[in-house]
Homo-oligomer: A and B are copies of this chain.
Amino acid sequence: MGIAERKERQKKEVRDSILQSAWQLVNEEGWQNLSIRKIADAIEYSVPVVYDHFENKEAILTVFNRRGFQLLGDELRAAKGTQSEPKKKLEAIAFAYWDFAFRHKEYYQLMFGLGMPGCEELAKVPELVAFIEVIGSVISQVVAEGNNRSADVQLKVRSFWSTIHGLVSINLLAPPSTHEGVSMDQMNKMILNDFIMGFLKGLTE
């Protein structure tokens, strides 16, 4: 009775072709413009067939979300393996992560929900420039106080902004699990304090 096997194989083929077409469409037009109808068109089946393989559109995106994390994990592990000293390992991981995000922009967007409409010219929004300036002015002061001539203020501003943005957004989309009776709020405060201490130390050497 090879019939059942063949059917399963064919079903899997259709499923794969859905994912493949979807991925191609995402790369061509961005995941914002992915639609079931376009996928159906690409796989040369009618729309409802897609729903025989995935409950809904989100289920398709979830597959890529997971693939993204899988891939990122793999790359981090690989980077870790290139070094033997722990500190070097950590360094390699950081670079690998960075690299991943820029080599796989689509994945990264899918994983962390970037890609807002109008975010391309975000850097030019005057209100944004103004609020960055607030940070810049203070950092200049701190740098000037500690006599650290080598510090590049613009660089430090970006570090500061980036870091706190990272802390905040990770905490918004994946709040820390409480552990050992420490509340989430306390944990957040600890993370924030940790960051500030480290950053200030780095500013004044």
Contact = CB atoms under 8 A, between A and B. Distances in A.
Contact of A131 (B72, B158, B190, B197): B72
B94 A196 contact: yes
Contact of A169 (B94, B125, B169, B174): B169
By secondary structure, the A interface counts as: helix
Interface residues of A, number: 91
Interface string A41-75: 00000000000000000100110011111101100
Total identical chains: 2
A187 to B, nearest CB: 7
B200 A198 contact: no
Contacts of A105: 172
Given A94-B192, A112-B165, A168-B97, A73 B202 contact: no
Nearest to A68: B127
Contact of A125 (B69, B122, B200): B69
Interface in A24-40: none
A71 B138 CA distance: 18
Contacts of A197: 202
A167 B98 CA distance: 8
A5 to B, nearest CB: 29
A9 B155 CA distance: 46
Q: Which of A156, A162, A194 has the most CB of B within 10 A?
A: A162
Given A90-B200, A110-B116, A112-B116, A135 B167 contact: no
A114 to B, nearest CB: 5
Given A80-B134, A130-B69, A131-B76, A167 B164 contact: no
